Structure 1
Amino acid sequence: MAKPVTQFICSACGATHKKWSGRCEACGEWNCISEEAPLSAGPGKAALGAAKGRRIGLSDLRTQETPPPRRTSGMAEFDRVLGGGLVPASATLVGGDPGIGKSTLLLQAAASFARAGAKVVYVSGEEATAQVRMRAQRLGLADSAVMLAAETNLRDILTTLEAEAPDLAIIDSIQTMWLDTVEAAPGSVSQVRASAHELTTFAKRRGVSVMLVGHVTKEGQIAGPRVVEHMVDTVLYFEGERGHQFRILRSVKNRFGPADEIGVFEMTGAGLAEVANPSALFLSDRDAPA
């Protein structure tokens, strides 16, 4: 059996190179290429062996499928961007600039889902549980039944989620997770890819809705390999200027609903408030005197 060939992967865009260089030819970033072992040896005559697999069942396009059940949070803007609510056994990736308010948005959504009767686990890899509680108190969410944890070891996180069996698990953020089977630093292409794969597989296997937080690069792309966006069912971007109070939650991919929905929020001292009539807001900005 041939030995796997070592790859050189760009941590900025995920492009694969045959040899190391100081600059990525795909995205133009400098000092971003690192040597990493591939996940497998690739296709070959001995990849599957002689054993046959089981025969899978087939259906046609005329088969009637019932719509997936939805769990709503009560945040109308958030639920609409999701396509009408959260779908069980789904994986959602929420991207945005650091400090734009992703953690605030998801903490408020977690509290809303918990108040609606869902069992929610919020795992932070960037902050201690005391910091998350302080934010919850500032937002008026201290009375919600959201369960907290501060951990980056994905094996321990998955073991806990298996035991707790929540309806929704929020991982903040995917760039901080590390898997002990991958010999790479947290935040590397291999770690982000493997961690996202394990969490997505867990969501499908256990029927748990998983939300992953991802930071974006200066080019506006979610940091790490683009394959993560293909793994998940829904990709949302949380956008806005730090000096401006308004934020837009935009759906760029949704396997369970339209991919062109937006939700508008206003950042206030008490957290993110929904903007019920964003069209009037934009019209008022247009009509304002220069």
Structure 2
Amino acid sequence: MMQTATEINELPGNNEAELSLIGLTFVRGQVPSAAKVLATTDFYSPYLRDVWGACLELEEERQMVEPFAVHDILKRNNPGAAALWPVSSLANTSLGIPITHENVYVEKIRSASVRRFLIRKLYDGIQSLIAGEKGTIQSLRRELNDLEFTEEAKGNFTSLADIFEKQVKPALLDLRQGVTHKISTGFPAIDRIIGGGISLSDVMLVAGIPGGGKSAFVLQLTSNIAKQGIPVAFLSGEMSDKENAFRLLSQSSQTANLNSAVHLSDNDVEFYNKWVDALKTLPIYMDSRTYDLRTLSLSLRNMVENYGVKVLVIDYIQLMKLNRFDKHTRTERITETSQEVKRIAMEYGIAVIEVAQFNREGAKSGKPGMHDLEGSSQLEKDTSLIFIIDREEQSSNVTLRVVKGRNSGLSEVSGRFEGWKLSFEF
């Protein structure tokens, strides 16, 4: 006889969180705002489902949520639950409950509920596949897509009170103590014109003419940021990991680009090995094999959770695809990719630095602007900062123009780019 999913033992639940949330509700006399997304089916214990249903009923009727009123509803709807939960037991759930942890309880309850749903659906799906039932895979896919949409749709709005209490007040205290959460570029002159550095969730775009030093600039930014102890993920679509490591070694040692070297002396090798030993502890993680954002997003989740990555560098954005089977036109792909990169920055709470190419007309013009970027309209919308590197022909003089700055005005800073050692100074 085939076992059904409802007969599976030891489905995940969190009895402590369920009891704590109910106790917190009694303490406040109303259902916490963050908990109103929870249905009775989100609770694992059948009797606690009845208790939560009574709390929701009182809340809907704008009555005080307290143990006596809840018990009266239990007696009416489910005498068994009323017998199991006398008024004294209901009241005891509120003893010693912190009054500010509803979000923690809600998240634990929802997490267990989602896992139970998935286990049941997957188990039933496996049984259906074994039985050879048609349409099982399509049905599972629809169920999972519906769940993903539901989870994304819940709880996206946050009250102004919560924002002030949990985000603004701590930020004010940090500012009073001189603590900033902005990430320095390592160039004080650039930090000054962009309001102190790069913010988490920002998308910063760097553009310039071919050979203008865009890739060298973002690689130097990567090194500068990593030297502050901030982990950086560096994704390159044009150069291998070894080539980028050679370029980083050349920048740091202030020597000629090693990718152009054909021979090194013993002294040279010893010199560079000392630099290697000094640089290899930097929290930089390179990838030159990923070209699609779906793979990148999965990989980045691991990097953020396990390695603490705070900055993602993409060199360059127009080479990226949405997935390995992307059939979009180039313009469509840039539009979709730009939107997805912004979503990644917001979801993971990281800063993104992306390199972009000018279109042919912009590359030929004397002083290209935002409108000359390939896929310019969408890139402009999705970025917080846009830098354009202007380099005088046959000269090491450069100007870094800020043509879009969310928290800064339009400005520029002059500097030098020593192309032979791939190094900028501002």
TM-score by length of 2: 0.47
Q: Report how far residue 210 of structure 1 moved.
A: 0.4
Tell me the CA shift for residue 84 of structure 1: 1.4
Contact 2:229–2:283 (CA<8 Å) still a contact in 1?
A: no
2:192 pairs with one of 69, 72, 80 = 80
| 1:175 corresponds to 2:325 | no
CA distance in 2, matches of 1:95, 1:206: 24
- Greater Cα offset, 226-235 or 69-78: 69-78
- 5+ residue gaps in structure 2? 1-154, 162-167, 254-275, 363-367
Partner-residue secondary structure (3-state), 1:213 = strand
C-alpha contact 1:100 1:238 (8 A) present in aligned 2:
yes
**Using a 3 Å threshold, how does the CA distance of structure 1 residues 56 and 107 change in structure 2: closer, same or farther?**
closer
Higher helix proportion: 2
AA of the residue aligned to 2:336: A
Equivalent pairs: percent with the same residue?
22
76-85 vs 98-107, greater mean Cα deviation: 76-85
Which residue of structure 2 lines up, in the alignment, with residue 125 of structure 1?
237
Separation in structure 2 between the aligned mates of residue 55 and residue 74 of structure 1, nearest angstrom: 36
Amino acid at match of 1:259: L
Residue pairs, 1:29-40, within 5 angstroms: none
CA shift in 2, pair 1:254/1:54, >3 Å: closer
1:112 CA displacement: 0.7
Identify the residue that residue 145 of structure 1 maps to in structure 2.
283
> Which amino acid letter does the alignment assign opposite residue 252 of structure 1?
V
1:182·1:190 contact (CA, 8 Å) conserved in 2? no
Partner Cα distance (1:237, 1:272) in 2: 17
The answer (yes or no) to whether the contact 1:81–1:263 under 8 Å persists in 2 is no
Relative to 1, partners in 2 of residues 1:54 and 1:209: Cα closer, same or farther, differing over 3 Å?
A: closer
TM-score when normalising by structure 1:
0.68
- The structure whose RCO (Cα within 8 Å, separation 6+) is larger is 1
Query: 2:395 aligned with 1:244, yes or no?
Result: yes
Aligned length: 221
- Contact persistence 1:91–1:234 (CA under 8 A): yes
Q: Quote the Cα distance in structure 1 between the aligned partners of 2:158 and 2:245.
A: 48
Which of residues 346, 349, 358 is equivalent to 1:207?
Answer: 349
| Cα separation, 2, equivalents of 1:160 and 1:174 | 17
Unaligned runs of 5+ in 1: 1-52, 276-290
Question: Which structure shows the bigger proportion of residues in strand conformation?
Answer: 1
Larger radius of gyration: 2
Q: Contact between 1:266 and 1:273, CA under 8 Å: does it hold in 2?
A: yes
Answer whether contact 2:213 2:417 (CA < 8 A) is retained: no
Structural RMSD (CA): 2.8
Matched, 1:272 2:423: yes
SS in 2 for 1:100: coil
Question: Is the Cα–Cα contact under 8 Å of residues 398 and 416 in structure 2 kept in the other structure?
Answer: yes
How far does the alpha carbon of each residue in 1:58-110 deviate from its partner, in whole angstroms, 9 at most, with x for none?
69xxx998577312133223323433111111111111112210110111110
Q: Which moved more, 1:165-174 or 1:78-87?
A: 78-87
